[in-house]
Structure 1
Amino acid sequence: MKKKEKLARRLVRERSGGICEVCGAARATNFQHRKNRSQAGGWSAANGLDVCGSGTTGCHGYIHANPAESYERGWSVHSWDDPAEVPVQTALGWVLLDADGGRTAVAPCAT
């Protein structure tokens, strides 16, 4: 595992406390890239969510199976977007994520 990946995973896990950031009910087991790595979505805490399930199960699977909703809720972001500037709906409400593993509450977005 490379240094940037290791740091991003650690910051996101610390932010989540090991609980899925989407549902808030299950143990987080996977790093969900909000901007796909194939779209220059790198390893950063702002670009990651700690989620339950795999790419086909739990919240991680739900995100991949429901792209329109995932973009509306900020769980996924478009290739031209900066994840640090796109609010995301988490179990704690709407937040902006930062590269240091923090989150800032923001007003709810219309979905």
Structure 2
Amino acid sequence: MKPGLARKKLLNRSGGRCEVCGLRPAREAQHRKNRSQGGTWDLSNLLHVCGHGNRDGCHGLIHQNPETAYANGWSVRQPRNPAEMPAWLTTEHGRIYVWLHDDGTASPVALPELVYGALKAERIYERGAV
């Protein structure tokens, strides 16, 4: 997807509020998988966040605290696919884990999906595949 279209759809999904804190206006697109690592402008790979650059607001929080960002799905490690990694975001239903879809929507993660995904990730880690 082209960056301009992605930014418009991202604004529509977020309603203009930071998807991480939900408190401040969102100004920037955060790539969950960095573009330098093959991250795309697909909406499953983007968060609408507050802050400027990588210095302040939630955008700064994500870049300055990578382990927290990975744990919350705000960043995605190689070689994982952002569309297959839920993110802990502020939504109209409160702060919940959601699946981000490339059509610009988000859907809540069911608890069994989250538990199964965590167990699966742990087994992969134990085998040294990560």
* TM-score with structure 2 setting the length: 0.79
Q: Distance in 1 between matches of 2:7 and 2:78?
A: 21
More helix by share: 2
Over 6 Å off, 4+ runs: none
Alpha-carbon deviation of 1:107?
A: 3.4
Q: Distance in 2 between matches of 1:11 and 1:101?
A: 6
Match of 2:27 among 23, 26, 29: 29
Matched, 1:12 2:10: yes
Question: What amino acid maps onto 2:37 in structure 1?
Answer: Q
- Aligned identity (percent) is 48
**Larger RCO (CA under 8 A, 6+ residues apart):** 1
Q: Secondary structure at the match of 1:70?
A: helix
Alpha-carbon deviation of 1:86?
A: 0.2
Q: List per-residue Cα deviations over 1:63-96 (Å, max 9, x = no partner).
A: 0000001000000001211111100000121100
Q: Secondary structure at the match of 1:21?
A: coil
Alpha-carbon deviation of 1:6?
A: 1.1
Q: Residue in 1 aligned with 2:37?
A: 39
CA RMSD of superposed structures (Å): 1.6
* TM-score with structure 1 setting the length: 0.92
Q: Residue in 1 aligned with 2:109?
A: 106
Q: Secondary structure at the match of 1:50?
A: strand
- Return 5+ residue gaps in structure 1 as ranges: none
Q: Is the radius of gyration larger for structure 1 or structure 2? A: 2
- Return 5+ residue gaps in structure 2 as ranges: 119-130
